[in-house]
Amino acid sequence: MMRHPNSFNSDDVERVLQLEADKKVVLLRAMILFSHLSLIEKLRKPLAKQKLFLTHVRILFVIYNSPGISVGDLRKSLRLSHQAIYRPMNDLIGLGFITQETGASDRRVRHLFLTEDGEGAIGKLGDYQDKVLIKDVEPLTDEDWRGFFKVASCCLDPIDVKYIHKNFLSDPA
């Protein structure tokens, strides 16, 4: 099996295994941070072309995977305050990427949907991101994926696990 060009060698892994638990946690935080920054940097150019920022993409992603999600549930999923979500959400409405519908049973609740343009935007960004990620993870084995899944699962909140189960792991009806 070919080793990923950015992976650590077996000596590095052995050194990690020898670290105290608190040092492993600091290392994990660093790896999560730098993985996130690397992915974001790779997205910067296609985002700029569409005049979007990361918050816009996160909103589109959640609405894409949960059509009709309420603004309140969107805020909870993204852990954003009303103030932090209001402007990017209005930007997306102004760009014609999302629409809002008033709730049938509670008129105070607004449900969010992607428009055709919104689906196109998230589709282009998703395709680009998928190409980047596929190239990055192609050399990983099933055992690598099991290890990643185990570690990533430990970092998730219950609301995240529920979202992932509902949108990615449940059998299609």
| pLDDT tens-place string over residues 45-74 | 778 777 888 899 999 999 999 999 999 999
Element holding 116 (H helix, E strand): helix 116-137
The architecture of the domain spanning 54-163 is Orthogonal Bundle (1.10)
Residue 60 in contact with residue 122, Cβ under 8 Å?
Answer: yes
How is the chain split into domains, by residue range?
A: 54-163
Average pLDDT, integer, range 101-116? 91
- Ordered alpha helix ranges (H), the chain: 10-18, 21-49, 54-65, 71-78, 82-94, 116-137, 142-154, 158-164
What is the 8-class DSSP label of residue 170?
S
101 beta partners:
111
Global pTM reads 0.75
Angle formed by the axes of helices 54-65 and 116-137, nearest 10° = 100
